[in-house]
């Protein structure tokens, strides 16, 4: 009885892993770089965080969300290889009246776990600095290069 219950509890995990590893992704358009079924495009022209998010939206994208250390490393390498700027906007932000960070694509915050605090009660936005590895919280009105991200999953 116990072995069959164990088997039945493992089956959903195996199916989930199979489906996740066999997802069909679209190729990214010219100028975009593929990573983990997402497409990324760096922009070198410095913009405020909101201006950058608006430009991303014009491409059907958002400022990049970062879900784990390997994705942070990928973005840091993308910045290092393709851009003159060492600091870029990501989609992380925190409003002055809130106490937790959010991503512009609506996904739940979980990484990075520690963000440098910014003095004062102001809106702050999250930037990636590939040399300082990796995070800065900056005034959202600061101008930085940025990276847009959109899904490459087939619909």
- The β-bridge relationship of strands 124-129 and 144-151 is unpaired
Residue 49 parent element (H or E): helix 49-58
Does residue 6 have a pLDDT over 50?
no
Does residue 113 have a pLDDT over 50?
yes
Per-residue pLDDT of 11-21, as tens digits, reads 333 333 333 44
Q: Count Cβ atoms below 10 Å from residue 150 Cβ, excluding itself.
A: 20
Per-residue pLDDT of 49-81, as tens digits, reads 999 999 999 999 999 998 888 888 888 888 888
- Is 65 within 8 Å of 90 (Cβ atoms)? yes
DSSP 75: H
Q: Give me the residues paired with residue 35 across strands.
A: 38
**Domains delineated in the chain:** 2-151 (3.10.100.10)
DSSP 145: E
- Is 104 within 8 Å of 95 (Cβ atoms)? no
76 versus 5: which is more confidently predicted? 76
User: For the chain, what is the mean pLDDT?
Assistant: 78
Q: Give me the residues paired with residue 153 across strands.
A: 25
């Amino acid at each position: 009885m116990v072995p069959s219950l164990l088997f039945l509890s493992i089956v959903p995990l195996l199916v989930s892993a199979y489906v996740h590893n066999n997802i069909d992704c679209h190729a990214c358009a010219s100028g975009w770089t593929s990573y983990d079924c997402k497409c990324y495009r760096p922009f070198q022209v410095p913009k405020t965080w909101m201006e950058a998010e608006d430009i991303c939206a014009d491409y059907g994208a958002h400022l990049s969300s970062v879900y784990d250390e390997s994705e942070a490393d990928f973005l840091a390498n993308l910045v290092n290889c393709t851009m003159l700027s060492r600091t870029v906007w990501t989609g992380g932000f925190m409003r002055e009246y809130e106490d937790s960070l959010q991503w512009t694509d609506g996904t739940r915050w979980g990484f990075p776990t520690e963000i440098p605090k910014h003095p004062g009660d102001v809106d702050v936005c999250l930037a990636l600095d590939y040399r300082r590895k990796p995070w800065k919280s900056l005034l959202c009105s600061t101008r930085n290069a940025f990276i847009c991200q959109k899904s490459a999953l087939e619909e």
